[in-house]
Structure 1
């Protein structure tokens, strides 16, 4: 259990730093649309769909690496809590339509990106299996 915590924690540390760096590099304007958080979350959905599809079918990716990258890094890189706070901030600023757009883009965009990641992972797995046969 202790070893697993170290892998998740190390990945979480790296994911948090990456998210912080990106959101600092392209901050949302005061009261404006949180574009960078949306892009971070969509990228995380795409990546996790791809990584878990490839990682679960690959014996070359260890359980520790899955914890480090899938749970730790991606879990802390993406941020549901910031999404919800940004949505509330938009509503409180009288931007109900923008908040609704943010919710729809985040939710449906996230699902689509995850599906695309899974599709991409399956395509890559099929290609590798075809090459090794």
Structure 2
């Protein structure tokens, strides 16, 4: 009897699927392909919306990045509403959550730009502004999602009651 082989990080957790078997690998792709496609499509839509917002409300170098802060807070608020609706109210199609939650909102919110904005502020000698932006974005994002979840649940309870 041989000892079980240790599981690599990129191998599936389902013990019935062996990606070394071509038929099972193809079956796995068929199951995941639509999800990958809707996440990519949603991400393109969300990133385009974010880019449009940056064109509408540009921020000059060294200034507080209000546009990125607003985008991230708005995206967090929308995800709060969305998660309550799809978990408490609406039995959504299996591709809605990856499309809208991961794709659109993941592409719209931009925590990578947030990190770059902080680095640019610090490198330009605006460390206090960078630190304020770091804290403000975190607080705004958490507050936005909490307020959106709470408000959505209250509205739904009010409509039902």
Gaps of 5+ in 2: 1-31
State yes or no: 1:119 paired with 2:138.
no
Could you tell me which residue of structure 2 aligns to residue 71 of structure 1? 102
Q: Which has the higher contact order (CA 8 A, sep 6+)?
A: 1
Task: Give distance in 1, aligned partners of 2:45 and 2:75.
Answer: 14
| 1:15-94 aligned within 5 A | 15-94=46-125
Shift >3 Å, 4+ stretches: none
Q: Given that residues 54 and 125 in structure 1 are in contact (C-alpha distance below 8 angstroms), is that contact kept between their aligned partners in structure 2?
A: no
Instruction: Look at both structures and tell me which one has the larger radius of gyration over its CA atoms.
Output: 2
Structure having the larger proportion of residues in helix: 1
Task: Give distance in 2, aligned partners of 1:24 and 1:13.
Answer: 16
Instruction: Tell me by how many angstroms 1:64 deviates.
Output: 1.3
Q: TM-score, normalised by structure 1?
A: 0.91
Task: Give distance in 2, aligned partners of 1:129 and 1:75.
Answer: 31
Instruction: Tell me by how many angstroms 1:19 deviates.
Output: 0.2
Instruction: Tell me by how many angstroms 1:63 deviates.
Output: 2.4
Root mean square deviation, CA, Å: 1.3
Gaps of 5+ in 1: none
